[in-house]
Structure 1
Amino acid sequence: MIMLQQARRLLSTRWRTGGCLAFLALTACGGGGSNPLDNPPNVSNPRGTVGQKLSYVYFQKCINPIFLKQLPVHQNGTVSNNTCAGSGCHDNTSGTGGAFRIVSGAQSVDLGSPANTPDVVRETDMYKNFYSAQGEVVFGAPMESRLLTKPMVLNVLHGGGLVFENADDPNVKLIEYWINHPMPEGQDEFSSAGHNMFTPADPETGSCNIE
């Protein structure tokens, strides 16, 4: 009887020791959590930021026409007239002016028509011009944007020569205003906020603001 009791006490001691060791082993593998049997915490990815867009309606009415104008070009001591969308400049098919491309025959899009949804507009030639021009822009920094530094020859070469002699050029004023007034964060390029860039605030009847 005495021998049986001693055997039971020995087994009980070994079980407690083994159980504690097993628990400690689980704790060591638990990654520092308060409960070693819990799942690991969820991975938390930082929320991405949404990039702003420039106004499409202001571009269509006020900026795209600049690229089609006959403008004086100063180059090698001579002055000639040409358009930004010319075949030797930024024409989308035969231009040699880098990544900036213009479809000279792009038609204005009636944004008031329910048929012209954003997806439809984004397939048009006018939108291609908008997208290409926006790609030459540093939002809020006109004089760091190639859309101006190139034709103004500001610390950068421009194969097309000097187009805008200074910041007082009316065309520069329009481009500056466009770059300085991106649409509110979270709103796309068709935001009605773009209407405030006209006086009165109506793209159909208003004039293009420059300040």
Structure 2
Amino acid sequence: MTLSTRFLRRRARSLAGLLAGGCIALGLTGCGGSGGSNPLDNPPVVQNPGSVGGQKLSFAYFQRCINPIFLAQLQINVGGAVSTNTCAGSGCHDDRTGTGGAFRVVASATALDVTDAANTPDVIRASEMYKNFYSAQGMVLIGTPAQSRLLTKPQVQGVLHGGGLIFDDPNDPNLKLIEYWISHPAPAGQDEFAAASYNMFTPADPNTGTCNTP
């Protein structure tokens, strides 16, 4: 064994000892993870805690009153150039070809009868319509329309919107529908399918009732 080889081996053993000692001294589980052999490796399993508490918005109202807005031809103003497009259009929020950030819309999503016992929460949550609901709710601060990006972005209120100005009139009927949805979450302790949210329609029927607004 040459001198250089013995020197390199001693340096390697010394470094390994320092790393192992550092992990023990600092008490860092991330130094090697449980059962890991590499002292510089990340923990092998990372678990995120599930959400706890909080209210949810009405799926029934979203499906009947909000989702159609994303499919409607709306006037848009981008730097003074006025045209029409849909939120679900290609290059906007289409779930496959959209470039509009995390908010995505499946334009072909079909409505489900929420009053049909066969449409259990599990069935609905596996649907394309629920994907739209879930994505839209992710752009919302529940109970606070004025701070929800589903409203502030298309109005270009303190935040940029690549799709331009959509709602230049604060009394736009579509704007009012979204505002009402955000302002009326399901009762605390109930999920997004709560029958109590049917009073958001007149009469209180999610299949035939008119969508209430502020």
Per the normalisation by structure 1, the TM-score is 0.76
Within-5 A mapping of 1:88-167: 88-167=91-170
Aligned residue type for 1:173: K
Q: Quote how far apart the aligned CAs of 1:202 are.
A: 1.0
Identity, % of aligned positions: 65
Aligned residue type for 1:202: D
Secondary structure in 2 aligned to 1:131?
A: helix
Within-5 A mapping of 1:165-180: 165-180=168-183
**CA separation in 1, counterparts of 2:208 and 2:136?**
24
Q: Quote how far apart the aligned CAs of 1:149 are.
A: 0.6
**CA separation in 1, counterparts of 2:67 and 2:52?**
29
- Checking the alignment, whether the CA contact within 8 Å between 2:113 and 2:207 is kept in structure 1 is no
Aligned twin of 2:89:
86
Q: Quote how far apart the aligned CAs of 1:196 are.
A: 0.4
The structure 2 residue matched to 1:74, chosen from 68, 72, 77, is 77
**CA separation in 1, counterparts of 2:66 and 2:73?**
14
Question: 1:132-168 deviations in whole A, cap 9, x for unaligned?
Answer: 0000000111111010111000011000000000321
Secondary structure in 1 aligned to 2:100?
A: coil
Secondary structure in 2 aligned to 1:74?
A: strand
**CA separation in 2, counterparts of 1:127 and 1:49?**
20
**CA separation in 2, counterparts of 1:124 and 1:189?**
14
Aligned twin of 1:183:
186
**CA separation in 2, counterparts of 1:141 and 1:50?**
17
- Checking the alignment, whether the CA contact within 8 Å between 2:63 and 2:129 is kept in structure 1 is yes
- Structure number, greater radius of gyration: 1
Aligned twin of 2:13:
none
Secondary structure in 2 aligned to 1:97?
A: coil
User: Is there any run of 5+ residues in structure 2 with no aligned partner, and where?
Assistant: 1-50
**CA separation in 2, counterparts of 1:166 and 1:144?**
17
After TM superposition, the structure 1 stretch with the greater mean CA deviation from structure 2, 99-108 or 198-207, is 198-207
State the 4+ residue runs in structure 1 displaced beyond 4 angstroms.
none
Aligned twin of 1:52:
55
Q: Quote how far apart the aligned CAs of 1:49 are.
A: 5.0
Aligned residue type for 1:121: I
Secondary structure in 2 aligned to 1:195?
A: helix
* Matched residue count: 164
User: Is there any run of 5+ residues in structure 1 with no aligned partner, and where?
Assistant: 1-47
